[in-house]
Structure 1
Amino acid sequence: MSDLELLTQSLARNVKRWRTERGFTLDALAARAGVSRGMVIQIEQARTNPSVGTVVKIGDALGVSITTLLDYERGPKVRIVRPEQAVRLWHTEAGSHHSLLVGAEAPGPLELWHWHVAPGDSSGSDAHPPGTHELIHVTKGVLTLTVDGVEHLVPAGASASFEADVPHVYGNQGSEVLEMTMAVSVPPVR
């Protein structure tokens, strides 16, 4: 079985499990996530490879991390994720990419990401649930962080934090590669 097939089946099983555990109908999850009922059905039947944005919306609606939705095995209390096990969820032809390194449910989703963004590339994100916070540390280049339409420059060696309940964009307007680490904390679903 390919990695993509394994992730698709894991996503299907985990979305259905968490939807059932939360007591959500297909319609309720679709409405909370802002996706179609048909998309939720296709995901739960492992008949589609949804976009990262769709997976994020469903995770936010369920109150679980992307790591939890894509996890294909429940591990021990200490989980070591080797570099080749990191899940690459976005990439461009220019070589930009971001990878989900590790995540946990503590008490809501908590995720750690690595980003590599080529000059001129950017990746946007819809607003996350209220109470979501992101922490960023830039190790190379300059991040142009746009939060709710306002640009902020974050140079190498600097860090930033922000409330991520508004649209935001991670961009590289510089001439060298941007490298950064990001942590995302989402409040638990109530």
Structure 2
Amino acid sequence: MLAANLRRARTGRGLSISELSRQSKIGKATLSQLESGTGNPTIETVFSLSRVLEIPISDLLDARPAGGLTVVRASEAEVLSGEGVDLRALRRIESGDAVFEVFDQRVRAGRRQESLGHVGTEHTIVQAGRLGVRVEGNEVELGPGDCVSFDAALPHGYTALDGEVRSVLLLQYRADQRLHLTDATPGVPCVTEG
């Protein structure tokens, strides 16, 4: 899915692979591999592409609405890994002028995950462990049940302070930030409400 969606988003923005490489700081060879379907992206790559192309992450990874009952099994969900975080996409929800993406987020023990920023508003709800969150120089510590929200375009980072941190990551976008793909393709489930 990433190959077709990336190509569609890049050409829709009128960007060459060279220009996308320059703006995203991702090598041209890597981008070519991703567009040909032979690359294996990291969290950092997907978030960087989301930031530069100004689209939700799920628009790079998915586009197919689902109907009825949808079950996402932990053992079957594809994991997107970064330096310190593993993300499993659980759901995309569209309601009125808003799009929400729900991820199971695991921050590995003693690891830090940095982001230059990306489209949307980020909400993280800690389920287990202690999570350090840094947003543009401001740092907070969260425990189970705590939540943080911020403009995801700001540089930010997560650190697992005591062992692995389990959390729910909710990314919120405006509907006008969507890529508006026309082909039905498999991937992260989508529900439309409203």
TM > 0.5 between the two? yes
- State whether residues 146 and 170 of structure 1, in contact with CA within 8 Å, keep that contact through their aligned partners in structure 2: yes
Query: Do the aligned partners of residues 63 and 104 (structure 1) sit closer, same or farther apart at CA in structure 2, a change above 3 Å counting?
Result: farther
| Aligned counterparts of 2:99 and 2:47: Cα–Cα separation in 1 | 11
Moved more, 41-50 or 134-143: 41-50
User: Over the residues paired in the alignment, what is the CA RMSD in angstroms?
Assistant: 3.1
Aligned to 1:6: none
Aligned to 1:4: none
Q: Which has the higher contact order (CA 8 A, sep 6+)?
A: 2
Q: Which runs of 4+ in 1 moved over 4 A?
A: 104-109
Aligned to 2:27: 36
**Number of residues paired by the alignment?**
175
Instruction: After TM superposition, list the pairs within 5 Å mapping 1:116-127 onto structure 2.
Output: 116-127=106-117
Unaligned runs of 5+ in 2: 180-194
Aligned to 2:78: 87
Aligned to 1:168: 156
Aligned to 1:66: 57
- State whether residues 67 and 104 of structure 1, in contact with CA within 8 Å, keep that contact through their aligned partners in structure 2: no
| Aligned counterparts of 2:60 and 2:76: Cα–Cα separation in 1 | 15
Q: Confirm or deny that 1:179 pairs with 2:166.
A: yes
User: Structure 1 counterpart of 2:167, which letter?
Assistant: M
| SS in structure 2 at match of 1:74 | coil
Give the superposition deviation at 1:108: 7.2
| Aligned counterparts of 1:156 and 1:138: Cα–Cα separation in 2 | 5
Instruction: After TM superposition, list the pairs within 5 Å mapping 1:1-190 onto structure 2.
Output: 10-71=1-62, 74-76=64-66, 80-83=70-73, 84-90=75-81, 97-103=86-92, 110-129=100-119, 132-174=120-162, 176-186=163-173, 188=177
Give the superposition deviation at 1:53: 0.9
TM-score normalised by L of structure 2: 0.72
| SS in structure 2 at match of 1:123 | strand
| Aligned counterparts of 2:71 and 2:4: Cα–Cα separation in 1 | 21
Query: Do the aligned partners of residues 31 and 78 (structure 1) sit closer, same or farther apart at CA in structure 2, a change above 3 Å counting?
Result: farther
Unaligned runs of 5+ in 1: 1-9
Give the superposition deviation at 1:124: 1.8
- State whether residues 50 and 57 of structure 2, in contact with CA within 8 Å, keep that contact through their aligned partners in structure 1: yes
| Aligned counterparts of 2:127 and 2:24: Cα–Cα separation in 1 | 33
Higher share of residues assigned helix: 1
Q: What does the per-residue CA deviation read over 1:40-65, in whole Å, with 9 as the maximum and x for residues that have no partner? A: 22211223223221122113323333
| Aligned counterparts of 2:86 and 2:26: Cα–Cα separation in 1 | 24
